[in-house]
Chain A
Amino acid sequence: MTERLFTWTIWLSAALVAAALMWVIGDLFSLGAAHLSLDFLLSAPRDAGRSGGIGPILVATVLIIGVTLTVALPLGLMAAVWLAEFTVRGDALGNAIRLSLDVMAGVPSIVYGLFGNAFFSIYLGMGFSILSGGLTLACMVLPVFIRTSEMGLAAVSDAWRQGASALGMTRSAAIWHILLPAASPAIGAGIMLGIGRATAETAALIFTSGYVDRMPESLLDSGRSLSVHIYDLSMNVTGGDTAAHASALVLIALIIVFNLLAQWFTDRWLHRRQLA
């Protein structure tokens, strides 16, 4: 009897979580799907976003993510390679860098917003801009990207490094042609985690990239990200709920598309070099 009760409880808790997710997604679709159209994706918002579309907001979102990746990917990959390939166990400098990354990973996103506002927007004079928002997000996603990539590199068998060394390859060549491609699944996963975080982020952007929903003309213009748009529509605009739900569907789709793109890109880029 108790066995059966226990089995039921376990299945019930799993069903509960599944049902809750279905409830959320079902509501998003039923409240927002009818509002979706090509016109909604392309046109500018009118009447504070109640009608019209999200064209400029999509552009701003893509630009913010673009800035984030342009900074975080090279910097993060280099740091990950240094941590995995150039430190020995117990290296004080390596540990200091790892500790810094762990601390950064724990800082709440709203605090990144405070930092970005004080440093990028005010101290460096970027104001409320796409650049300032993108750089803030870059600081935020660096730790998760670096630690995932580092773990991937560390998991590559030492035989590969020895083999490369025995063939007379330089360390740089071994890293570029052998180790990075071998670690590509982990690097790809790190990129996806980073993109997912950056696209979903709202709190860090409100006070760095701002609210302006016009089409951005340069990286120094303020741009409203899709997540900030959803927040603004639902909290500050009465009658904006339908547009907010439609935007939420687009945001989720965007995260999925970004993930697929990152997957495709890392597969192609790293796989081809592995074959060459």
Chain B
Amino acid sequence: MILSKDSSLYHWNIDKALAPLLLLAGLACVAILLLIVLFLSREAWPVLANGGWRAFVADNGWYPLEGLFGLLPMLAASLAVMLGAIVLAGPVGLGCAIFLQFYAPQAVRKSFRLLLSLLAGMPSVVLGLWGLTVLVPLIAQWQPPGASLLAAILVLALMIVPTMALAGAAALSSVPADLISGAAALGMGARSRILYVAVPAARRGMLSGALLSMARALGETMVLLMVAGNVVQYPHGLLEPVRALTANIALEMAYATDLHRAGLFASGLLLTLLVLVLAWLAARSLRHD
């Protein structure tokens, strides 16, 4: 920012009005966030007040119409899908990042980047549609019912792979070139140079990319709603149908009233909290670089 005296060429100085006006726009953003927090808490209050949140952990099952609000099975399902997707997308994303940075010929690199951004911009409802009409029947042929933890993990992995790959490539590109040429001068081959020098040097950027992908997977609704099967139960096996927290909100908001509605808003708050912790960890891992 440049601090300059008000211009003396104009009688009416528009600059005096400008800063407060722009600040107002900035403050509006803070106000929106406060409104979000306020209204989520207000709607969730009937459940949160008087220690009602304990029901989330203590109640045996999610039967909101009978006043049972045990959401641990859905929380477990959300976490299982997230972990499965990152375990699958992590190595592939790392491979793609190394490919972009070290292996792809110039022409291929450009089109592969384009392909990744196309995949990243693919609407989740479209990926969900594909999962529902192509992937789920395929799995059902092998092991019914098809709509399952596995289907959700596969589609979500496809969804977060571009984030992993692009964040990884950005981290690898910021590794100092002398570090890698130094390793080459020591006689290390391409594989060792990449695996033992470049990747460790870029680990913080990659970790941050992975955490952001996990946050995205945890907050995703449509894919889970469409391919995971929506049965409320602890995830016992890969081929069992499960219902994630996000999908539960989308499924039940239409008819939820009173305490049930408050329960859904409370689960929304919990979800936001989890996603924010992941995003905070991601930002922290970058800052310590």
Q: Which residues of A are at the interface with B, using a C-beta cutoff of 8 A? A: 2-3, 6-7, 9-14, 16-18, 20-21, 23-24, 27-28, 31, 74-76, 78-79, 81-83, 85-88, 93-94, 96-97, 100-115, 117-119, 123, 139, 142-143, 146, 158, 161-162, 165, 168-172, 175, 196, 199-203, 206-207, 227, 230-231, 234-235, 241, 244-245, 248, 251-252, 255
* B226 lies within 8 A of A110 (CB): no
A-B contacts counted at CB < 8 A amount to 258
A107 to B137, CA, bound (A): 33
* B1 lies within 8 A of A88 (CB): yes
A219 to B271, CA, bound (A): 31
* Interface SS majority for chain A: helix
* B221 lies within 8 A of A203 (CB): yes
* A109 lies within 8 A of B219 (CB): yes
Which 5 residue pairs across A and B have the least CB separation, nearest first? A13-B95, A108-B219, A200-B123, A78-B25, A82-B22
Given contacts A83-B26, A108-B221, contact A103 B33 (CB under 8 A): yes
Residue of A nearest to B265 (CB): A114
* B103 lies within 8 A of A200 (CB): no
Contact of A202 among B133, B215, B221 (CB under 8 A): B221
Q: How far is the CB of B144 from chain A (nearest CB, A)?
A: 18
Q: How far is the CB of B231 from chain A (nearest CB, A)?
A: 15
* A107 lies within 8 A of B275 (CB): yes
* A79 lies within 8 A of B25 (CB): yes
User: Of residues A100, A113, A146, A251, which shows the largest number of chain B Cβ atoms within 10 Å of its Cβ?
Assistant: A100
Contact of B99 among A14, A110, A251 (CB under 8 A): A14
Contacts of B272 in A (CB 8 A): 106-108, 111
The answer to whether the Cβ of B285 comes within 8 Å of any Cβ in the partner chain is no
Chain B 75-96, CB within 8 Å of chain A: the 1/0 string? Answer: 0000000000000000110111
Contacts of B275 in A (CB 8 A): 106-108
Contacts of A109 in B (CB 8 A): 219, 221
* B123 lies within 8 A of A199 (CB): yes
Q: How far is the CB of B7 from chain A (nearest CB, A)?
A: 5
Chain B 219-247, CB within 8 Å of chain A: the 1/0 string? Answer: 11110011000000000000000000010
* A86 lies within 8 A of B23 (CB): yes
Contacts of B99 in A (CB 8 A): 10-11, 13-14
A110 to B220, CA, bound (A): 8
User: Of residues B18, B104, B118, B215, which shows the largest number of chain A Cβ atoms within 10 Å of its Cβ?
Assistant: B18
* A115 lies within 8 A of B23 (CB): no
Contacts of A87 in B (CB 8 A): 1
* A111 lies within 8 A of B95 (CB): no
